[in-house]
Amino acid sequence: MADANSGTEARTTWIRGADWVVAWNDASGGHEYLRGADVVFAGDRIVFVGSGYDGRADAIVDGRGSCVMPGLVNIHSHPTNQPITRGVREEFANPALYMTALYDRTNLWHADQDGLYYGAVVGYCELLASGVTTVVDYAARPPDGWIELMAQSGLRVYAGPAFRDADWRVENGSHVVYDWDAERGRRQFDQAMTLVDAAIGHPSGRLGAIVAPAQVDTCLPQTLQQAAAIARERGLMVQTHACQTVPEFQEMTRRTGKTPIQWLDEIGFLGPHATIAHGIFIDEHPWTHWHTRTDLNLLAGSGTTVAHCPVVFSRYGHRLESFGKYLRRGVNMGIGTDSAPHNMLEEMRQALVFSRLATVNAFDVSGGDAFTAATVGGARALRRDDIGRLRPGAKADLVLLDMNHPLMRPARDPLRNLIYTAADRAVRDVYVDGRQVVAGGRVLTLDIETATARLEQSQFRAERNVLRQDPDGRSGTELSPLTLKLAD
């Protein structure tokens, strides 16, 4: 078998006798556990999953004490501009905007080029360390060198350079105002498509792209329609933020007389090619008090995916109502990390917890549901059947969990232990396209120590500028006080 990237004979790696393997069963269309099994990959493809492999191997990895699972697929994240808000955004809200800090506070910590670039390095390292092998990087301000950094990371990255026709600002602390500039939006669109082409054409073969109109409320209908048409024509995903805040829901119903989902359906945006980031405040959500009950049916009937990112919204007291309900209504669900920390395993855990709290039902959703969303749900959104699963012919994107880690024992159910207890602490080794990118929990492709130091310096510069940027003249400490008072 030849290596698709090099043209040479592919190196075969045999993970022999793993305690557990999370294998894909084509007949049932789902994941299942195998015990004492082998996983073999040659170059960038899996060639064997099961027991009793008797072929050749160039390298043998002792699978004892390991669980082998498919790499996770993160379909919505912002690694460039969000890591700079660590230690800032976790207790950050505007009560006059239904608690969301999206419009007037988060962006006051404005990342410079260093902050964007090294924020991406930090975000990519967090993703790899939590078992992510494929990620959608949705970037409002792509840093210089972004495409090459994606390739260097070793991740399978889908670039999502965003564009929009309007910017937000807030008047009186409670009124979101839209400053429209269609010409600027067109320039952003053209710049974004140049980056889309660069990612798709990158020689690494691991990069892809999505079409990313930024938000349902900041894009003109023709912009959203053009984005969806390009995605259909080129076989790409189109993704926009929608139903992410109550102010957005109210703005769209004021403009159109319809919910954001109903309006997106009316203009032809929804479909199997489309993903809605967040999708929380729909017509059935108790906070919207809307008179219809059609949004979930429109999402499910059109084949549209929802990218569920529970952690960041929980900080505002927001939650999906509920993950389990969306699944039962037939909506394809994926998982994303959105903002820092970029830890997919924590997102999966919180998706389960908040869904049960929303329904007061311990059986509303299962760990298997969350794992499926974080693997094949995301793969389906990206229109791929060769990632998010371990089976012959799939990409060699896989994770080895340390079953000897104290938090993974007793080893009765490895995924349950991983999701509810161990999280990223049990992630030992990660392979993408058959190349090892994490070993012993350490990312091999990027310099996390340098990146965190540079990001810290950028955050210091950003906070120094908050006072000048905030319309009300507040300092960073006033907007986001320290957890404890600083002693004199």
Domain boundaries, the chain: 12-70+390-443, 72-381
| Position 262, amino acid | Q
Mean pLDDT of the chain: 96
Please give the Cα distance from 469 to 107 (Å, whole number).
Answer: 9
Residue in 296, 341, 285 with CA at minimum distance from that of residue 318: 285
pTM summary value: 0.96
Q: Residue 107: pLDDT band by 50, 70, 90 thresholds? A: confident
Flag whether pLDDT at 61 surpasses 90: yes
Flag whether pLDDT at 47 surpasses 90: yes
pLDDT at 105: 83
pLDDT at 163: 98
Three-state secondary structure readout of 23-39: EEECCCCEEEEEEEEEE
430-461 in b/e burial notation, b at 16+ Cβ within 10 A? bbbbbbebbeebebebbebeebbebbeebbee
Q: Residue 6: pLDDT band by 50, 70, 90 thresholds? A: very low
CB 318 within 8 A of CB 350: no
Q: What is the DSSP letter of 415?
A: H
Flag whether pLDDT at 74 surpasses 80: yes
Candidate CATH numbers 3.40.630.10, 2.40.50.140, 3.30.70.60, 2.30.40.10; the one for domain 12-70+390-443: 2.30.40.10
Please give the Cα distance from 258 to 252 (Å, whole number).
Answer: 7
Please give the Cα distance from 247 to 391 (Å, whole number).
Answer: 44
* Percent residues over pLDDT 90 in the chain: 94
262 Cβ contact list (under 8 Å, min separation 6) = 256, 283, 292, 294, 295, 298
Span 350-376, average pLDDT: 96
pLDDT at 1: 46
Question: How is residue 125 written in tokens?
Answer: 């390292």
* Bond into 322 cis (ω within 30): yes
Provide the CA 295 distance to its chain's centre, in angstroms: 23
CB 451 within 8 A of CB 86: no
Flag whether pLDDT at 2 surpasses 60: no
DSSP 177-227: EEEE-HHHHHHHHHHHHHHHHHHHT-TTS--EE-BEE-BTTTS-HHHHHHH
Residue 26: CB atoms within 10 A of its CB come to 10
Q: Residue 5: pLDDT band by 50, 70, 90 thresholds? A: very low
Question: How is residue 471 written in tokens?
Answer: 């319309």
Distances (CA, A) of 345 to 32, 121, 353, 370: 19, 19, 13, 10
> What angle do helix axes 221-234 and 182-200 make, rounded to 10 degrees?
20
Q: Residue 4: pLDDT band by 50, 70, 90 thresholds? A: very low
Please give the Cα distance from 57 to 36 (Å, whole number).
Answer: 18
* Percent residues over pLDDT 70 in the chain: 98
Pairing between strand 427-432 and 398-402? antiparallel
Name the CATH superfamily housing domain 72-381: Metal-dependent hydrolases (3.20.20.140)
Residue 204: CB atoms within 10 A of its CB come to 16
The radius of gyration computed from the CA coordinates of the chain, to the nearest angstrom, equals 22
pLDDT at 138: 98
